[in-house]
Amino acid sequence: MENNSIQNILESLNYFTPELALMLTFFVLLLVDLFFRKSKYLLPAISLVGFIVSGYLLVYTPDVKGFLFSTGMTNIGLYVIDPFSFFFKILILLAMIYTILFSLSSKEINEAGGNRGEYYVLLSSFALGMFLLTSTIDLLLMYLSFELVSLSSYILAGFTRNVKRSAEASLKYIIFGAVASGAMLYGISILYGLTGTTNLYLINFYLSNQNIESLPLVIAGLLIIGGIGFKISMAPFHFWTPDVYEGAPITITAVLSVASKAAGFALLIRSLKIMFIDYTATNLQSSAWAILSQFKWNELIAGLAVLTMTLGNLAALWQSNLKRMLAYSSIAHAGYMLTGFVILDNQGIMAILIYFFIYLFMNLGAFFVVMLIADKLGSEEMEDYTGLGYKAPFLGVSLTIFLISLTGIPPTAGFVAKLYLFGALIKAKWIWLAVIGVLNSVISLYYYLKVVKNMFLRESEIEYSHNLGHGNLLITLSLLIPTLLFGIYFKPIIEFAEQSVRIFGF
Amino acid sequence: MSGIPYLTLVTFLPILGMIIVLLIKSEKIQLIRITAAIVTFLQIVIAALMWSKFNFSAAGINDQSSFQFVEKVRWIEIKNLADWIGTVKIDYFLGVDGLSMPMVLLTALISFLGVLASWNISKGIKGYFALYLLLDTGMMGSFVALDFFLFYVFWELMLLPMYFLIGIWGGPRKEYAAIKFFIYTLFGSVFMLLVMLGLYFSTYEILPDGSKVYTFNMLQMMNPVNYSKEGLLSPFNPNNLRFIAYIFLFIGFAIKVPMFPFHTWLPDAHVEAPTPISVILAGILLKLGTYGMMRISFPIFPEITNQLAYWIAVFGMINIVYGALCAMAQKDFKSLIAYSSISHMGYVLLGMASLTTQGMMGALFQMFNHGTITAMLFMIVGVIYDRAHTRGVNDFGGLALQMPVYTGITTVAFFASLGLPGLSGFISEAFVFLGAFSNETIRILAIISTLGILLTAAYMLWTMQRIYFGKLNPRWENLPDVNKLELAALSPLAVVVILFGIYPSPMLNLMNTSVNKLVEIVVNGQVTFSNLSALIK
Amino acid sequence: MTTYDLIFYLFALIILVSAFIVVAARNIIYSAFSLLFTFFGVAGIYVLLNADFIAVVQVIIYVGGILVLIIFGVMLTNKITEVEIKTESFQVLPSIIISGIIGGTLVAIFTKTNWKVAEPQILDKTVTEIGRFLVSHYMILFELAGIILLVALIGSVMIARKEKLETEEVEK
């Protein structure tokens, strides 16, 4: 039996290569950093190569749709590889690659001196943690990878030296994060106590075959949702977001707002879908939240979604700091995406996937432009953007397009994202939720346009000229073109998302 | 589809122009202007060609085969998806009938004249014309799109250029006016989006290969047979939300019209916008609201249209009287015209609500006439503002002797606006009232609305008197008369106004068949759609 | 109530009281020493659960390693022994209400729920079993824990070095 399980693990490793590549990157970076501190481009180059290799392995890994690392009855597996995780891994890799590219031209990062090495090391461990989160089906592995992601991001958020708000952000993040992961661990322990297993599928099996009191299950579910909700900055666990996003270096803010949120959503969808859906039922479509039917999970989530988007949007209205505004807007976007989670059928999940894919480009784009301007201007205050559209037309127009896309106005990709999300809601007859959603996007228009107004509708005498350089121009374009193109021709994303909604076993 | 894709040309020509404008160096001001003028002029040429080839007996409305210049290409098609979603398809589907053809002509005409009126814009010319042309595409596209999704994309495409055009080139309170315009219209259109999605998930289209797919095709949505059993907006569904959806959709369009009480963005936007943008706004954009009602609300929800026609007429009446009263109280020439627009759009609502051929025809014709007349009026305001840098109605006086040509043209516009027989405004208003009187339920509203004619005459003549007659204010002794460019922009409109006042048949013939069909659909559709609901209950 | 239960409750009491002192003490040294009893109490419960290896590890690592490190840290830091740490409470009433509700729910859960009880197993070689589990069943978790510790190490080094660099800069 022992040999057998070793054999199984070794076989599983064949499918685990993308993660192994990330691990290898992590160690190589650590070692290289020891010996070649001075080189500016070596570390980012290694990270990029690592991520690309991992992506290559990801694409060419056979799609097994099976359990990895299963070693007999007590452990039927820890990890699955399915189209769903593939989608999120691609998303995460893209976000990571962009982050590395951003970091190359970021003033904050380049002036960090001696700590630059750790920055790249931690980015790769961050990526590894998120990879694991998207595919884990075991509560233990889930918790550990959650901690890996959290630890890496705590340190990254406080990365910039000598910046007080960065240190403050990091500390706040750690305290909130510790509470959140503590809560999640508590929920996990209750679940384990009820079912005696940490495997999501076995939990589901046990829950659907045994009569279980609803109270502990509800509490456990709430605690787990709360812990993950912290990662995706869902209200009322969003308090850390503005401070951390404002304090962290912009590159990290960008990656936190996209990749870490994506990993959180992947985990949320996978764990709740597997645990709480009675998939012995014939029609999986209607069986959403089948276990615990007496507790209205989806209404709870709907309420949280409304709270999240409304709080995010209303708070964003009053911000004068662009980074902080984008932080609140990212809370609001998490709220929109949660509405897709309310439905939890394939249509809803597909809408979330589409939203994320588009959100990646538009949000990273907005952050990148803000970063470029902040490096030059030394400020992220909206006041200082006055008349900027005329001094730096390309950046001004790009930022406008990204913001319009975030609002969700055609012909930008953001519209397609909202279209599918609200479409899913309408189809599932959650009319009131859809109405609140669209009203929220009207509110969001106001604060996004405030930036545009400052850039174009006002003029100022300030001297500002921006020599973008080819690299930054290319990066901006590579984000801008998908934002526009997917607005007009969105077939590829829909198809990709459609193929990716298949969670293993469903 | 065969031959020249007229509609694609007429819609996307401005985008082409925009690209060219963007490629020209911003120092070459004259070249940019001329490019824009050529592009929009070509638009007129194409529109005129279409008019000459138009088949007056083809009705359109809900029947693809009688639409003209139809272009239908699969835009997005996602096949072989899992069974829970089926095939997704969105068509690039353009076509015109008697409802949209007048609007296409109007758009082409006003866009070109708007370029002429923009000649003396001095700031950021390149950006101005690029946005202007983008706006042009949005407007034209909305009028010719027959796929709801496509319509929505064009509809929203107008917002951003308009925001910038008001916000950058506008007057002192431009920021406020621009954001107000944007928020208001977006507020309306997001509700439209929800209705669009609701309709999408309620209607099926049967493809040639026999498969049933959800559809954004407006024409399919007009046919009750295509609705699914359990669709949210399906008449077969006893718990359908068609009534609420109608209200949502109506609000979306009413904001554009603008209908009382959603009108407050309009005076701000008009007063702050530069002259050519006011011209576009009043001349074309407002028409999109009423066009949307005719094209979408009425034939897709005929039974609710019947149910609510009375209330639409009530709002039409309020618009007429309230707009006229407000106009009377204005001291700013431009906001006076803006309120008169609100009043005149009330006639359109009243005519539509009568659900008779005359009324509907009057409404459609009024849309065209109001487009031309108000465009003229705003240009007239622009002319005087350029010279005097004030728009106070009471600041002037006795301009008739100082600027005779200008006064002559103004007179035409004013009289057309107040509905003097022999000018185009009279014909359409007469039709509107004919229709409204013949419908017994709204007759009393029509009678009250005639008050509006009186009020319009009053404020128009009063304004005329204050600005053009009386003693000349010595401040304006050196005001020059209209120059050639302004004359070039104004006179075609004057010609159109007079021509259609004397000989309206070409335009009426253009509309006749389609309007008849529309009325028939709305009236009969009531029977079909309500019978379906009754059958279920 | 058997002797077994009695011992369990004794340990539980030790843990609770000493943990409370850790939080409530005004002097950091007292907190640190009180933590000692908490760790010992936990080790005692492990022994009761027949988890001898874990109990030993608990004592060696937490008491022998971490706690000693904390006390060293406290001792070596200038003047920290005299610093009055803030342990005042604010928002007393709301927090009592909220924690009361949460605590009540948890107590209700613990008393009323039918927990899944595993068959008691008497293992003679727990160390071997744990080792076997860690390198077969939970190998990936074991490796991951290693990476997490490494990341934590890097992070703490970074934070520590940051301080040093700053002081150097100030000195210059």
- Please answer whether residues A230 and A176 qualify as being in contact, where contact means their C-beta atoms are separated by less than 8 angstroms: yes
A-proximal residues of B, 367-396, CB under 8 Å: none
Instruction: List chain C residues with CB under 8 Å of A152.
Output: 151
- Inter-chain contact B164–A438, Cβ cutoff 8 Å? no
Establish if B186 touches chain A: CB-CB under 8 angstroms.
Answer: yes
- Inter-chain contact B160–A409, Cβ cutoff 8 Å? yes
Nearest to A438 among B81, B174, B191 (CB): B191
- The mean pLDDT value for A214-239 works out to 85
Nearest to A125 among C112, C137, C151 (CB): C151
- Please answer whether residues A483 and A365 qualify as being in contact, where contact means their C-beta atoms are separated by less than 8 angstroms: yes
Establish if A22 touches chain B: CB-CB under 8 angstroms.
Answer: no
Establish if A442 touches chain B: CB-CB under 8 angstroms.
Answer: yes
Establish if B201 touches chain A: CB-CB under 8 angstroms.
Answer: yes
Establish if A419 touches chain B: CB-CB under 8 angstroms.
Answer: yes
Instruction: List chain C residues with CB under 8 Å of A6.
Output: 136
- Minimal-distance CA residue of chain C relative to A152: C151
User: B155-166 pLDDT, tens per residue?
Assistant: 998 888 999 998
Q: What is the pLDDT of residue A199?
A: 85
Q: Locate all alpha helices (DSSP H) within B66-158, ordered by sequence.
A: 100-117, 125-144, 148-157
Nearest to residue B123, comparing CAs of B18, B274, B280, B283? B274
Instruction: List chain B residues with CB under 8 Å of A346.
Output: 82, 84-85
Nearest to A411 among B157, B163, B186 (CB): B157
Residues of chain A with pLDDT > 90, as a percent, come to: 27
Q: How many CB pairs under 8 A join A and C?
A: 94
Element (H, E) at C130: helix C126-135
- Inter-chain contact A213–C113, Cβ cutoff 8 Å? yes
Q: How many CB pairs under 8 A join A and B?
A: 92
Interface test with C, best of A152, A159, A163, A218 (most C CBs within 10 A): A152
Establish if A456 touches chain B: CB-CB under 8 angstroms.
Answer: yes
- Residue A298 distance to chain B (closest CA, Å): 20
- The mean pLDDT value for B441-465 works out to 87
pLDDT band at C170 (very low <50, low <70, confident <90, very high): very low
User: A22-51 pLDDT, tens per residue?
Assistant: 999 999 988 888 887 777 788 889 999 999
- Inter-chain contact C106–A219, Cβ cutoff 8 Å? yes
Nearest to A410 among B156, B164, B198 (CB): B156
DSSP collapsed to 3 states, B179-222: HHHHHHHHHHHHHHHHHHHHHHCCEEEECCCCCEEECCEHHHHC
Q: Where are the domains of chain C?
A: 1-87, 126-172
Instruction: List chain A residues with CB under 8 Å of C136.
Output: 2, 5-6, 9, 71
Chains A and C are in contact, defined as 3 or more C-beta pairs closer than 8 angstroms? yes
Cα separation, B285 vs B291, whole angstroms: 10
Nearest to residue B366, comparing CAs of B335, B333, B336, B341? B341
Interface test with B, best of A391, A412, A438 (most B CBs within 10 A): A438
Kindly indicate whether the domain formed by C1-87 is annotated with CATH number 2.40.10.220: no
Q: To 10 degrees, what angle do helices A297-317 and A214-231 make?
A: 30
Residue A160 has pLDDT above 80, yes or no: no
Question: What average pLDDT does the structure give for chain C?
Answer: 81
Report CA A14 to chain centroid distance, whole Å: 27
- Residue A75 distance to chain C (closest CA, Å): 7
Chains C and B are in contact, defined as 3 or more C-beta pairs closer than 8 angstroms? no
- Residue A48 distance to chain B (closest CA, Å): 34
The long-range contacts involving C127-136, CB below 8 angstroms and separated by at least 24 positions, are C127/C53, C130/C53, C132/A2, C136/A2, C136/A5, C136/A6, C136/A9, C136/A71
Nearest to A148 among C106, C139, C147 (CB): C147
- Inter-chain contact A347–B197, Cβ cutoff 8 Å? no
> Cβ of C112: how many Cβ atoms within 10 Å?
10
- Inter-chain contact C113–A6, Cβ cutoff 8 Å? no
- Give SS3 for B75: strand
- Whether complex ipTM tops 0.85: yes
Half-sphere exposure of B488 (CA within 13 A, CB side): 12
Residue B75 has pLDDT above 60, yes or no: yes
Nearest to A145 among C118, C144, C165 (CB): C144
Model pTM score: 0.91
Cα separation, A108 vs A246, whole angstroms: 13
Q: What is the pLDDT of residue A75?
A: 66
Nearest to residue B324, comparing CAs of B491, B504, B475, B448? B448
Q: What is the pLDDT of residue B512?
A: 85
User: Strand B88-96 to strand B68-78: parallel, antiparallel, or no bridges (unpaired)?
Assistant: antiparallel
Establish if B195 touches chain A: CB-CB under 8 angstroms.
Answer: no
Half-sphere exposure of A113 (CA within 13 A, CB side): 8
The long-range contacts involving B395-398, CB below 8 angstroms and separated by at least 24 positions, are B395/B473, B395/B475, B396/B466, B396/B467, B396/B468, B396/B473, B396/B476, B397/B466, B397/B467, B397/B469, B397/B470, B397/B471, B397/B472, B397/B473, B398/B468, B398/B469, B398/B470, B398/B471, B398/B472, B398/B473
- Inter-chain contact A141–C140, Cβ cutoff 8 Å? yes
pLDDT band at A114 (very low <50, low <70, confident <90, very high): low
- Inter-chain contact A426–B194, Cβ cutoff 8 Å? yes
Establish if A495 touches chain B: CB-CB under 8 angstroms.
Answer: yes
> Cβ of A246: how many Cβ atoms within 10 Å?
22
Largest CA distance in chain C: 69
Instruction: List chain C residues with CB under 8 Å of A121.
Output: 154
Instruction: Name the one residue in this structure whose structure tokens are 């109490």.
Output: C41
Nearest to A498 among B81, B163, B186 (CB): B81
Establish if A147 touches chain C: CB-CB under 8 angstroms.
Answer: yes
Q: What is the pLDDT of residue C85?
A: 59
Q: What is the pLDDT of residue A359?
A: 93
User: B41-51 pLDDT, tens per residue?
Assistant: 999 999 988 88
Instruction: Using CB atoms, list chains with 3+ pairs below 8 Å to chain C.
Output: A
Instruction: List phi, psi (to 5°) of B312.
Output: -65, -40
Establish if B322 touches chain A: CB-CB under 8 angstroms.
Answer: no
More confident residue, C1 or A179: A179
C-proximal residues of A, 184-213, CB under 8 Å: 190, 193-196, 213
- Inter-chain contact A115–C162, Cβ cutoff 8 Å? yes
- Please answer whether residues C13 and C21 qualify as being in contact, where contact means their C-beta atoms are separated by less than 8 angstroms: no
DSSP annotation of A461 reads -
DSSP labels for A9-70? HHHHHHHTHHHHHHHHHHHHHHHHHHH--S-SSHHHHHHHHHHHHHHHHHHHS----SEES-
Establish if A439 touches chain B: CB-CB under 8 angstroms.
Answer: yes
- Inter-chain contact A410–B186, Cβ cutoff 8 Å? no
- Residue C99 distance to chain A (closest CA, Å): 14
Q: What is the pLDDT of residue B452?
A: 86
- Inter-chain contact B167–A456, Cβ cutoff 8 Å? yes
Instruction: Using CB atoms, list chains with 3+ pairs below 8 Å to chain B.
Output: A
User: B281-325 pLDDT, tens per residue?
Assistant: 888 998 999 999 988 888 888 888 888 888 999 999 999 999 999
- The mean pLDDT value for A70-95 works out to 83
User: In a 10 Å sphere around its CB, with 0-12 CB exposed, 13-18 middle and 19+ buried, how is residue A113 labelled?
Assistant: exposed
User: B244-286 pLDDT, tens per residue?
Assistant: 899 999 999 999 888 888 888 888 888 888 888 989 988 899 8
Cα separation, A288 vs A284, whole angstroms: 7
Establish if B152 touches chain A: CB-CB under 8 angstroms.
Answer: yes
pLDDT band at B508 (very low <50, low <70, confident <90, very high): confident
- Please answer whether residues B145 and B154 qualify as being in contact, where contact means their C-beta atoms are separated by less than 8 angstroms: yes
Nearest to C136 among A9, A151, A194 (CB): A9
- Inter-chain contact C155–A154, Cβ cutoff 8 Å? yes
Residue A379 has pLDDT above 90, yes or no: no
User: Strand A79-80 to strand B68-78: parallel, antiparallel, or no bridges (unpaired)?
Assistant: unpaired
Residue A494 has pLDDT above 60, yes or no: yes
Establish if A429 touches chain B: CB-CB under 8 angstroms.
Answer: yes
DSSP labels for B445-468? HHHHHHHHHHHHHHHHHHHHHHHH
- Inter-chain contact C155–A215, Cβ cutoff 8 Å? no
